[in-house]
Each structure stands twice: as structure tokens, then as C-alpha cells.
Amino acid sequence: MLFDQETHDKLITFRHELHQFPEVSGQEQKTSARVLSFLEYYSPDEIIQDLGGHGLAAVFNGLEKGPTVLVRCELDGLPIQETNDIPYQSKIPGKGHLCGHDGHMVMVAGLAPLLTRTRPTKGRVVLLFQPAEETGAGAKAVIEAPAFTDIKPDYAFSLHNLPGQPLHEVGLKSGPFNCASQGLWITLEGKTSHASHPENGKSPATAMCELVTKLAELPNLSELSNDFSLVTVVHARLGEEAFGISPGFAKVMVTLRSQTDDIMTILRERSEVLISAIAQRHQLKITFGYEDIFAASVNHPAATDILKQAFNDESITQTEMSTPMRWSEDFGQFGRVSKSAMFTLGSGTNQPQLHNPDFDFPDELIETGTQIFYRVIRNVLGPRN
């Protein structure tokens, strides 16, 4: 076993505690405080707080100079009501750790007792607990924080549990690993009128229907069709719930998704050309903007090889992924400042999917995740035994 029984039990108890008190993106103050309390027991050489919001980093120095290895996890939960009937069910109405970030936190926190017991031969390890992953804002805010300059890593690693993949099995590929995505909102303004005389107003109904249809068809354009891209309509609203009013307002929200940032740039450009053309043709005032912006997460070849070696050394069953994950991850931001790589860790073939109200992170994955990260650290920084 990687941990003695006392530490093993402590980690599971900690995971259950985090699960009961989820906080959504940007509001992770109490979660960060719980992590801080756990880490302080193991006396890291430095603890940095308030990174990019409520982010937290613990630094463990090696015995001599060398590279910096950062291991990152996420602090935030989701605005979803949990439906599990478990002793440690969420106590916060309408919020739940239904993506497994509670488990990810404990995997990374589990490195603290190991690093306290055996410091790296060289370099240093940074355990990063990042805020606001679910909105795509957290990683960028952490990297832009002045304090991050002092812990800027040479290598950065992370994982995400993956339902549908066999328990303890890992998935990995070099290059694009998670898709880029952006939330695009559009408002169309015309003029209301009495429903009996719609000709006296300017309804955006036809334009809205055209937008919904045409935006979803953009990935079929020749310049986009050779690479994966997707436009998903997530919301559409027209006027008010009143039978006497011909509407004068509409709103459409779509998620743009692509395998690379370059394709995302094209997708945005084509979306904006289409939106403007439809608005002009129907003589409507238009506004649009973007939220929840995620860059593509791209695994660096050198960091990917380090992970592969760790899997082999620990006899972890691995699958070579042929395509990137469709969902997005703001871990891609760390690839802009370091050699970074992310992998998936199977959370079971019968596990409810991420963001389902009945998802619960499997406790038996804690040791597996920590074991992989610890092997990565030892292979890069020593000691190798």
C-alpha cells in the first residue's frame, strides 16, 4: 500500500468532508480553508494563498536545485442538486461535487504526507488547488497572479476521472487532449406590437429560428469539415409569455466547440459573419458576446512521455486515445507556460456520467491517482526508488 491505514482513512474522511460542502466557481473560500488545514499538518516549505481567487499552492522543496513539477487539481463544485442517498451527501442545497473534484483534491493532497516523508532529491513540487475550473476562468487567473511568477513550473500534470472507462485504467494521448469551447450569446431586438397587428412591430422570431438552424450547420463548411467542431444550441428565448404581444426581443445561446484553438478562431469568425448577416437582413439590432472561454488542452510530447513511463513503472493499464475528449478543461492554460499533460483515470464502466445528479467519486481511485503523480515526481526529481 502507498499509505498506512491511518493516512488512508484520513484521506477518505477528507474526501467525504469536501463532498458535503461543495462551493461553485469563484466561491471556494471554505473549501480552500479546509485544504489549507489539511496541508498545514504536513508542514510544506511554503503555502501561497489567494491565487487567482481562492486558489492555494503548497511547495515542497528538494534537497538541491532542479526543475519545478506542478500537480494541479480543482476546488469547485457544480450548481446541481445531488440525488445520492449516502451518509456524506451534499449539505448545500442546489450544489454538489458531481464532477469528482473532491476526489481530485484528495489525490493531490495525498502527496503531502509522501513528500513530507521523502523530499525530492532536486527541484521542487507545487501542489496547486485551482479555483473556477468549471467556468474556464480559474487557470488563467492563477497564471496571471503575481505570486505565480515565483512558482512557475517546468512541468505541469493533472488528471480527470472518466466514467465509462474501467476502474483504475488510464487514457492518454500526445497533442490535443481536450477541446476548446466558448459560450456565445446573441440578442436580437426589434419592436413589440399587438399580436393582432404584428405588421406594426418587428418580430425577431424568423431571425431567431434561422440563427438556431444555421449556427448548428457551421461545422459542415468546407474549411471546418476536416477537423472536429460542433455548435450546440443550449438556450433560445423569444418575447414574453403573453398571447397579446408580438415579440420584440430574442436571445440565443450556443456552445462553440473545436479540437484546436485555430479552428475555434475560424468558428468564431464564421459565427459572427452569420449573425451580422441575419440581423441586417431582418433589420434587427444585434448584440453578442462570449463567456466560459476554454482554450484547447494540448499535451506536450515530453510531459506525455513522463506520464507513460510512470504508468509503466506502476503497472497501470493504459489506453492510447485516438481522439481528444470533447469536453473542455482549463488546464490547457498551463501548457502556455510549461510542458504540461493531462490524463483520464477510469472511474468505472457503470459509473453515472460527469455532472449527473447521482455521480459520486469512487474512493478506491484516491490511492491510484496519488500513486501515479508520486511516481511522476520521483522519476523527474528523484529519488527513483
- Read off the pLDDT of residues 4-46 as tens digits, 9 standing for 90 and up: 999 999 999 999 999 999 999 999 999 999 999 999 999 999 9
Mean pLDDT of the chain: 97
The highest-level CATH class for domain 180-294 is alpha beta
- Read off the pLDDT of residues 64-101 as tens digits, 9 standing for 90 and up: 999 999 999 999 999 999 999 999 999 999 999 999 99
Q: What is the pLDDT of residue 173?
A: 97
DSSP-derived pairing of the beta strands 339-346 and 229-238: unpaired
- Read off the pLDDT of residues 181-193 as tens digits, 9 standing for 90 and up: 999 999 999 999 9
- Integer Cα distance of 9 and 16 in angstroms: 11
- Per cent of the chain over pLDDT 90 is 98
Q: What is the pLDDT of residue 1?
A: 84
- Read off the pLDDT of residues 125-159 as tens digits, 9 standing for 90 and up: 999 999 999 999 999 999 999 999 999 999 999 99
- Measuring CA to CA, which residue among 232, 268, 223, 266 is closest to residue 252? 232
**Which residues, 6+ apart, have CB-to-CB distance to 305 below 8 Å?**
none
The phi and psi torsions of 249 (rounded to 5 degrees) equal: -145, 145
What is the pLDDT averaged over residues 92-116? 98
Q: What is the pLDDT of residue 56?
A: 98
- Read off the pLDDT of residues 243-257 as tens digits, 9 standing for 90 and up: 999 999 999 999 999
- Read off the pLDDT of residues 190-243 as tens digits, 9 standing for 90 and up: 999 999 999 999 999 999 999 999 999 999 998 998 889 999 999 999 999 999
Quickly name the fold that domain 5-178+297-381 has.
Aminopeptidase (3.40.630)
Bridge partners, 73 (sequence order): 129
Please tell me if the domain spanning 5-178+297-381 has the same topology as the one spanning 180-294.
no
- Integer Cα distance of 92 and 114 in angstroms: 32
Q: Residue ranges of the domains in the chain?
A: 5-178+297-381, 180-294
DSSP structure class, residue 1: -
Question: Contact, 324 vs 259, CB < 8 A?
Answer: yes
**Which residues, 6+ apart, have CB-to-CB distance to 265 below 8 Å?**
none
| Rounded CA Rg of the chain | 23
What is the pLDDT averaged over residues 345-374? 98
Q: What is the pLDDT of residue 225?
A: 87
* pTM for this entry: 0.93
